[in-house]
Amino acid sequence: MYPNLLLKYIDIRKASIKLIKYLSVEDCMIQCNPDSSPIKWQLGHTTWFFESFVLLKYYKNYKPFNLALHQIFNSYYESKGKKIHKLKRNILSRPSFETIISYRDYVDKHIQEMLEVENKDIDFLVQLGLQHEQQHQELMYADIKSNLFENPIDCIYHKTDKILSEHSELDFLKVSEGLYDIGVENEDEFYFDNEQKNHKYYINDFKIANRLITNGEYLEFVKEGCYDDALLWHSDGWVFNQENDLCMPFYWVKIDEEYYEYELHGIEKLDLNAPVKHITYYEAWAFAKWFGGRLPTEFEWETAAKKYNNVKNHNLLDYDKMDAYLEPVSRKGDNQFIGGAWEWTESAYLPYPGYKQDKGALGEYNGKFIVNYMILRGGCSYTPISHIRHSYRNFYYPDKRWMLSGIRIVK
């Protein structure tokens, strides 16, 4: 996709800055839900990653920008000293936004200098740092959305024209019983350790939907009172719903019997043809049960995606190239497994056979999270185009819904 790593580095790092074009310094300070971090912090944290894992180790005589910042931007730090709790990142008025931008520039200058000559030692680390940056770009969109939504008087990120979605008839694609290969397709491209090792998995016959469940279809579920029917829900899901008074997806708003939806451009009427999003695993599972189907396992999903995915139809934004924010629209074609919404699977996040966690801090990247999460596949409309692939395993706790999660049915 990129002629060399230097150009890729420049584009991806720049994309983070384009993303905040419509935000004030004050917008970059806020943190409204326990899962989000301030944008300001994320801009520093992604930069710390490069300074800490590349420059401090491989740049000869590197003079750090300010080591005191590591205490703030290292999310893995486990020492005994004064520490900033994840939920308190919004108290960091200092360093200033301006200082963080200088920090980015300083680190970029040094990394780019290194990338101008060939340097095998740092290739993987820079690639990893860029994947990390892209994960945060997607997170920043989700965080901005959840943060601004709380504001009672002004919740718009950027006003754009809404384009209504279209969708095709729901149809089911067949996959036959057999032993399938699971894992990375192209080992020359970057992949995370948790996509490895490639291995065989025995799968029974199944049929998988050619598209995601729409807001319109989910609205039926809501209107039929399914949130009040304990028998449709996991025990934990039922408790979660009761404790949080759940009765529809996050960002849906009901005013005078009409349903609306909050997007980054504001609150508009619910787009019935768009894929439903911002739902918990519990909601996806209960919907599938009520719909007469179930969720796919991640092995079924990957096998179907490798077989059927129509890559030309994806509607992922090419953030790296983009000049300005465009509200993403739902894809129009069929057989798209990439870019609609993160699709909840019925698989828990577990290590693949033969998985090896790296030693030290980098080994913590994925390995220490392998418990209590469910797997989601396929990327969403905020996922950078160069970041997603069939074997990509995303994971969230089953009660999360601030990210763009959706439903695909299996029968």
Q: Two tokens at 78?
A: 């486990």
Residues from 22 through 51 that contact a copy of itself (CB under 8 A)? 24-27, 29-32
**Contact present, 30 and 90 (Cβ < 8 Å):** yes
Distance CA 372, CA 398 (A): 8
Task: Classify residue 201 by its DSSP letter.
Answer: E
253 binds a copy of itself (CB under 8 A): no
Which of 50, 97, 250, 342 touches a copy of itself by CB under 8 A? 97
Query: Residue from 117, 179, 255, 324 that binds a copy of itself (CB under 8 A)?
Result: 179
Q: Is 234 in the site for a copy of itself (CB under 8 A)?
A: yes
- As a whole number of angstroms, the distance between CA 299 and CA 201 comes to 7
DSSP 91: G
What's the full length of the chain, in residues?
411
Give the interface segment with a copy of itself, choosing from 44-52, 112-120, 214-222, 229-237 (CB under 8 A).
229-237
Of 364, 374, 371, 410, which is closest to residue 394 (Cα–Cα)? 374
386 binds a copy of itself (CB under 8 A): no
Among 201, 382, 395, 402, binds a copy of itself (CB under 8 A): 201
Instruction: Find out whether 347 and 297 touch, Cβ atoms under 8 Å.
Output: yes
Q: If DSSP codes are grouped into helix, strand and coil, which group holds residue 69?
A: helix
Q: Quote the DSSP letter at residue 93.
A: -
Binding segment for a copy of itself (CB under 8 A), chosen from 230-238, 256-264, 301-309, 331-339, is 230-238
Structure token digits, residue 316: 């992922």
Residues in contact with 103: Cβ distance below 8 Å, sequence separation at least 6, in sequence order: 44, 47, 65, 66, 69, 95
* Options 4, 151, 176, 186; binder of a copy of itself; rule CB under 8 A: 151
Question: Is residue 230 involved in binding a copy of itself (CB under 8 A)?
Answer: yes
**CB of residue 146 vs a copy of itself: minimum separation in angstroms?**
10
Return the SS3 of 258.
strand
- Give the full edge-to-edge strand order of the sheet including 394-396: 394-396, 374-377, 342-348, 405-406
Q: Contact with a copy of itself (CB under 8 A): which of 44, 129, 339, 398?
A: 398
The least distance separating a copy of itself from the CB of residue 154, rounded to whole angstroms, comes to 4
CB 290 within 8 A of CB 232: yes
The first and second tokens of residue 54, run together, are 């590349």
# of chain residues touching a copy of itself (CB under 8 A): 69
Q: Which of 172, 174, 311, 353 binds a copy of itself (CB under 8 A)?
A: 353
Among 34, 152, 225, 292, contact with a copy of itself (rule: CB under 8 A):
152
Q: Is 176 in the site for a copy of itself (CB under 8 A)?
A: no
257 burial level (CB within 10 Å; 0-12, 13-18, 19+): exposed
90 lines the binding site for a copy of itself (CB under 8 A): yes
Asked if 141 touches a copy of itself (CB under 8 A), the answer is: no
Q: What whole-number distance in Å separates Cα of residue 213 and Cα of residue 288?
A: 10
Residue 279, number of CB atoms within 10 A of its CB: 26
Residue selected from 141, 221, 281, 337 as contacting a copy of itself according to rule CB under 8 A: 281
Out of 12, 72, 140, 304, the only residue in the binding site for a copy of itself (CB under 8 A) is 72
DSSP for residue 296: P
Nearer to a copy of itself by C-beta: 117 or 371? 371
Q: Which of 336, 347, 386, 394 binds a copy of itself (CB under 8 A)?
A: 347
Q: How far is the CB of 314 from a copy of itself (least distance, A)?
A: 29
Task: Return the sign of the alpha-carbon dihedral for residues 214, 220, 222, 223.
Answer: positive
For a copy of itself, the closer CB: 61 or 79: 79
Out of 50, 103, 227, 285, the only residue in the binding site for a copy of itself (CB under 8 A) is 285
Which single residue is written with the structure tokens 């905020």? Answer: 382
Which residues of the shown chain bind a copy of itself in the complex (CB under 8 A)?
A: 24-27, 29-32, 68-69, 71-72, 78, 81-84, 88, 90-97, 147-148, 150-154, 179, 199-204, 230-231, 233-238, 281-282, 285, 297, 346-348, 350-351, 353-354, 360, 363-364, 368-372, 374, 398
